[in-house]
Copies of this chain bind each other. A is one copy, B any other.
């Protein structure tokens, strides 16, 4: 076992997630244990530099050049912080896997633009400040073999959750819901991953509209209210829900605009609206999961939605033949999952092993991901 740190900086711009893990082996024999986790928030001026760099209007080559180094320093700070918190010295650290901050992603070529992806946070800076080897820029190689460069987490899910006894379906419930199916005794090529539809996005928009709160904490309103069957039926008739996979969706389909339309068309009590939206998320997940149930099947829920007991209980009711668990119940951390995945990918790359899942990204073949900056 060696110590490693995985770094993730998501599009939500909450800050830098750093997961310190103990890791050994490779491929199916990989063993990973989370030791420490923290999120280092971005300072205001760094956040404004990132927002500028993300904007087509504000970004330019000079700002991006500088921000790449500025972020490198900050990623290094996150490594130092998580090691200090765990009382692990840099000498004990074997490697770092850094996703970088995504500035842009073009999954398919259009007009003058190539299919491409762009993450920054300079690995040489991270390497030098932490005195540790860094693996970075994981998505490019998948795109080089025809993949979309996303999703990037399935390989780690495969390694961490694969079972010889059960089919495991990992359901992440963020703004949008997405799942990864790992059939019993799966080979890597058996994995299936797609977006199931809305996660918390409609519920959250309703909470903001009716109560000026960010989300339905502990599923209180969802539990209070009554599901409206007509509205539920209309929601389940949304074309995305019955579209066959592979498929991806986003806030542009189920976000603010969609929710405002619902509120206009359905003058229901706020709690009933929230209850119905909660049931919609539960039913759309259940419908997505249904075709993959085979023998002993576990549905493992992560993301913000896993903390909503009303939602989890609705999913359980909709899938009586499935064992529904939340990440924490089986000893995993939902918030650390993506950062842990970066340590798993780096561990693969350092052993010249593959890290993408072609059935999830559309790549022609599995390849090692990322570039190595040796200390």
Contact = CB atoms under 8 A, between A and B. Distances in A.
A75 to B, nearest CB: 12
Contact of A55 (B61, B140, B374): B61
Contacts of A144: 72, 122, 124-125, 127-129
A211 interface: no
A198 to B, nearest CB: 27
Contact of A114 (B70, B106, B136, B143): B70
Nearest to A54: B61
Given A371-B372, A372-B372, A374-B372, A106 B54 contact: no
Contact of A140 (B60, B61, B124): B124
B114 A127 contact: no
Contacts of A64: 61, 64, 104, 118
Contacts of A127: 141, 144
Contacts of A61: 53-56, 59, 64, 103-104, 118
Contacts of A128: 141, 144-145, 367
Given A116-B69, A371-B371, A122 B136 contact: no
Contacts of A116: 65-66, 68-70, 122
9 contacts: A65-B116, A66-B106, A66-B112, A69-B140, A73-B114, A124-B137, A128-B144, A371-B372, A372-B374
Interface of A: 45, 49, 53-57, 59-62, 64-66, 68-70, 72-73, 103-106, 112-118, 122-125, 127-129, 136-137, 140-141, 143-145, 349, 352, 367-368, 370-374
